[in-house]
Amino acid sequence: MAGETAKNSVSGWELIERNTTVRPNRIDHNFIWQSRDSIGQAHKRLGVKVLGDEPSIDRWFIKKPEEWEREERKTTPANVILPALSFFLIAAFVIMMLLKFGSNVIKGRAKLRLLGMVAVISFFAFSLKILNELPSFMASYFTFVPLKNWYIVEGITRTITVLFYSIAAAVGVGAVMGTEPGRKMREKIPVRENILLSIIAVFYTAGILSLLRWFEIAFNLPVRNPTIILPAFLSSYFPVLSLPAQIIKKLCITFPLVIIAYLWFRRKFTSDWKLFVAGAVAMVVLSFDSNRLFSEFVWSAVKYLVIFAGGWAIVKYLLKDDIPIYISAILLAVPLYYAAQWLMCAGNSFFTLNAVVSAAFGVLLWLAAVLHFKST
């Protein structure tokens, strides 16, 4: 596994932890390997779960020093209050989106047929994602829980999850109907410059994120055990099947939430520079979330601000506030993002195949969006 995923020799790693879990259907073996070469004060680790004769799971992460962990466990008023600020900020935007959705339904701006289609498509997309995770379905089961009860709880939990995302997608789409961005979304996409601008936006964002991750590793900046290479859902039949759910999250839930927040800020802050400052302050508030150390908060705030400034530049100057182009950029960016992650495992034909299919899927989505807007 080390040779396939990291192109490293096993001699560069040492086994520091192992345990076994006996389950009704198999025996699981858990291993933690640590690189002999430390990254500053931290250590690079590889966690491996061998799930009987089912697909194994591996993850790369950074283990922080013990003194960092001890400092994080300290409870102070700031540790309690500051993370709550980001929660209330997001909650305020969600409430505004719900109010906008209700207003659009009452005034007849929200087309119920379209919202129903969004909910149905979302239901199938998230159901497909859950079915795709069946190979690792039993990974979280422990023998002290009756198997029947565990199946019931898991079934109810996953059903609620699918229904929640389906309804949230419909609410998100309904919230932006009747707004100026909603009107622009129904306009034609300028086809000629769309591919170039989308690709530039994708690689600009990827470059910013890659640069930030390089800073974290090179200068030993505080990180919260991030996954370095692989997304969690790779222990599945065919990871690319999870892409529709990821796209719906971005397109029908996250993106409408950002639009509603933007419209609210624009009414409160009339000039561009005031709007930019307000957005930057919101990013700083969001960076409070789950960061206990001051150094973690500072670095998190820097990351949020850099990403916000990059997104502002893309939308304001590169895409020139053209919402359809921004949507098509998302349709292209999401599959390419996961394709890039899978291609980092070059040498493993399974992940390479998923990367190719993912990239092709992204291009097809972009073409579908272009043809749809051209026809309208």
- The predicted-structure confidence for 13-46, as pLDDT tens digits, reads as follows 788 889 888 776 667 788 888 877 665 556 777 7
- The predicted-structure confidence for 116-138, as pLDDT tens digits, reads as follows 988 998 898 888 888 777 656 66
**Beta-bridge mates of residue 21:** 28
Q: Is residue 356 part of a domain?
A: yes
pLDDT at 225: 36
Confidence of residue 251 (pLDDT cuts 50, 70, 90): confident
> Helix or strand or coil: residue 297?
helix
- The predicted-structure confidence for 266-288, as pLDDT tens digits, reads as follows 888 888 888 889 889 988 888 87
- Specify whether the CB–CB gap between 21 and 27 falls below 8 A: yes
pLDDT at 169: 92
Q: Is residue 135 part of a domain?
A: no
Mean pLDDT over 68-84 rounds to 71
- Going by their DSSP bridges, the two strands 13-22 and 57-63 should be labelled as unpaired
Place of tokens 């790779």: 234
Give the total number of structural domains in the chain: 1
For residue 79, pLDDT beyond 50: yes
Range in 10-19, 79-88, 363-372 the model is least confident about: 363-372
Burial class (CB in 10 A: 0-12, 13-18, 19+), 320: exposed
For residue 246, pLDDT beyond 80: no
Token pair in block for residue 65 = 């020093």
Mean pLDDT over 164-193 rounds to 74
Q: Is residue 268 part of a domain?
A: yes
Q: Is residue 263 part of a domain?
A: yes
pLDDT at 233: 41
pLDDT at 150: 80
Where in the sequence is the domain holding 103, given as residue range(s)? 78-107+177-226+238-375
pLDDT at 166: 94
Q: Is residue 369 part of a domain?
A: yes
Q: Is residue 142 part of a domain?
A: no
For residue 76, pLDDT beyond 60: yes
- The predicted-structure confidence for 319-338, as pLDDT tens digits, reads as follows 666 666 666 666 666 666 66
**What's the half-sphere exposure (Cβ side, CA atoms, 13 Å) at 71?**
12
> Helix or strand or coil: residue 47?
strand
Rg, Å, the chain Cα set: 23
Q: Is residue 368 part of a domain?
A: yes
Q: Is residue 231 part of a domain?
A: no
pLDDT at 171: 93
Single-letter amino acid, residue 326: Y
> Helix or strand or coil: residue 29?
strand
Name the nearest CA neighbour of 322 among 209, 206, 188. 188
Q: How many CB atoms lie within 10 A of CB 334?
A: 23
Give the ranges where the chain is alpha helix by DSSP (H): 2-5, 66-73, 77-106, 112-132, 147-176, 180-185, 191-218, 243-248, 255-268, 272-286, 294-313, 323-343, 349-375
Q: What distance in Å separates the CA atoms of residue 355 and residue 143, rounded to the nearest whole number?
A: 36
pTM over 0.85: no
For residue 358, pLDDT beyond 90: no
Long-range contacts, 34-37 (Cβ 8 Å, 24+): 34/63, 36/12, 37/12
- Specify whether the CB–CB gap between 326 and 193 falls below 8 A: no
Mean pLDDT over 53-80 rounds to 67
